[in-house]
């Protein structure tokens, strides 16, 4: 009896060991891995890339997952110990950093065949405790879209300083036109502009977060020069939007800009495909946020967009690494770039002459003129969005700083 029990137990252990070694197996004996995406607008292209990979070899089958509320779903799955094998995740975010430090992702620091396909330093930018847990393939950038034809007709050039920016807005208004397309009903749409206002006013992204996030409680003051300069940048938006901008949403502001009802729109590289869908009858341009003075470099803000990590819980880490290596190749990312247009860190992708509309700002990506989103050091960001909109509506700098102190003091 004891012998039979022992043999039965040994058989179960052997079977468990076999299954653990095999991991998930698709039909035909192939290893199956899951690729979880948070880019629904790129689902069709990502599926093409996955299909190309699946056809390129006989050992691994990748299945693409794209679901509504992907960020929330991903958090739940990681919390439940059900993380996908390969995950499109944003390494600038606080939750990623916490998960990486907690050992949720595979250390890719030694994966030279993957890392050598990227521009130097691209992955190191998002290292956690000096280890690489994420492969950033593309980045987004923020700036100001503008109507090139209208600018030319008014004799306006891209501003190089805050003062020139103020002059441009005044000239557009004097001509009876609307300076900005705005979506005050979608507070997130001002996030890039507001962060750039803080970065330029403070002198750098680090200085901005030192003032906002890492200063003492209650330190943000309406009387400080930095805050007053931020107010000057935000004042350019105040009362200068299209009709009904108070309740306008993202789609409304894109439509207002693309139709020519407003000559500028503060937003990010992700908005270009949506703008082009509207078929504007003018040439679209995109400029970075000018500094306070002419010797201050123009800046953009953004961070990794299509970026991937491998779950440490994956039973098929080697297969996942092979797919990430393919996804990081010039061949795969060329297909992605040709649709998305976001600046890419992958070597060998042909970008010359493509997506000319955002080229001036895209050229700043992966340089010291691209700041990483300030909220990478915050625990949340929605209150910041709402504070910016409240200021744009009221121009009350004291109320603005009070709201910011209330928000940031919880992190201090």
List, for residues 64-107, the tens digit of each pLDDT value.
999 988 989 999 999 999 999 999 999 998 899 999 999 999 99
Q: What does the pLDDT look like over 198-231, one tens digit per residue?
A: 999 999 999 999 999 999 999 999 999 999 999 9
The reported pTM is 0.81
The answer on pLDDT for 27 being more than 60 is: no
User: What is the third-level CATH fold of 142-301+372-409?
Assistant: D-Maltodextrin-Binding Protein; domain 2 (3.40.190)
Note whether 32-140+303-347 and 142-301+372-409 share their fold: yes
Listed range (115-119, 162-166, 378-382) with the worst mean pLDDT: 378-382
**pLDDT over 90 percentage in the chain:** 86
pLDDT of the residue at 4: 37
Report the C-alpha gap between 254 and 113 in whole angstroms.
41
pLDDT of the residue at 17: 36
Listed range (10-19, 23-32, 279-288, 362-371) with the worst mean pLDDT: 10-19
- Grade residue 22 by pLDDT with cuts at 50, 70 and 90: very low
Q: Domain-by-domain residue ranges, the chain?
A: 32-140+303-347, 142-301+372-409
- Grade residue 15 by pLDDT with cuts at 50, 70 and 90: very low
pLDDT of the residue at 25: 62
Domain 32-140+303-347 is found in CATH 1.20.1740.10: no
The answer on pLDDT for 232 being more than 50 is: yes
The answer on pLDDT for 12 being more than 80 is: no
């Amino acid at each position: 009896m004891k012998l039979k029990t022992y043999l039965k137990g040994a058989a179960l252990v052997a079977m468990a060991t076999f299954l653990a070694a095999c991991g998930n197996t698709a039909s035909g004996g192939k290893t199956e891995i899951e690729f979880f995406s948070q880019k629904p607008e790129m689902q069709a292209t990502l599926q093409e890339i996955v299909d190309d990979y699946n056809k390129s070899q006989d050992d691994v089958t990748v299945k693409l997952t794209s679901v509504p509320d992907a960020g929330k779903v991903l958090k739940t799955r990681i919390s439940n110990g059900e993380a996908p094998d390969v995950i499109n995740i944003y390494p600038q975010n606080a939750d990623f950093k916490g998960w990486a430090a907690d050992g949720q992702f595979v250390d890719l620091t030694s994966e030279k065949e993957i890392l050598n396909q990227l521009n130097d330093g691209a992955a190191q930018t998002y290292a956690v405790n000096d280890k690489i847990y994420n492969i950033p393939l593309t980045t987004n950038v923020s700036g100001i879209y503008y109507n090139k034809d209208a600018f030319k007709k008014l004799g306006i050039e891209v501003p190089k300083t805050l003062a020139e920016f103020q002059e441009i807005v005044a000239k557009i208004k004097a001509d009876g036109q609307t300076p900005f397309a705005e979506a005050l009903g979608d507070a997130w749409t001002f996030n890039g502009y507001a962060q750039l206002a803080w970065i330029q006013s403070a002198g750098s992204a680090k200085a901005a977060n030192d003032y906002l996030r890492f200063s003492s409680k209650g330190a943000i003051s309406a009387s400080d020069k930095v805050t007053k300069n931020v107010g000057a940048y935000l004042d350019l938006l105040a009362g200068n939007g299209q009709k009904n901008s108070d309740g306008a949403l993202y789609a409304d502001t894109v439509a207002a800009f693309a139709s020519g009802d407003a000559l500028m729109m503060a937003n990010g590289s992700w908005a270009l495909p949506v703008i082009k869908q509207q078929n504007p009858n003018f040439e679209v341009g995109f400029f970075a946020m000018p500094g306070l003075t002419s010797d201050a470099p123009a800046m953009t803000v953004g961070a990794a967009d299509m970026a991937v990590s491998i779950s440490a819980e994956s039973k098929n880490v080697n297969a996942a690494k092979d797919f990430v290596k393919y996804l990081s190749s010039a061949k795969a990312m060329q297909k992605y770039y040709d649709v998305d247009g976001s600046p890419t860190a992958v070597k060998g992708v042909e970008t010359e002459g493509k997506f000319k509309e955002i080229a001036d700002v895209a050229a700043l990506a992966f340089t010291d003129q691209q700041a990483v989103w300030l909220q990478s050091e915050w625990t949340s960001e929605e209150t910041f969005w709402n504070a910016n909109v409240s200021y744009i509506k009221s121009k009350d700098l004291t109320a603005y700083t009070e709201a910011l102190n209330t928000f940031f003091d919880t992190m201090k």
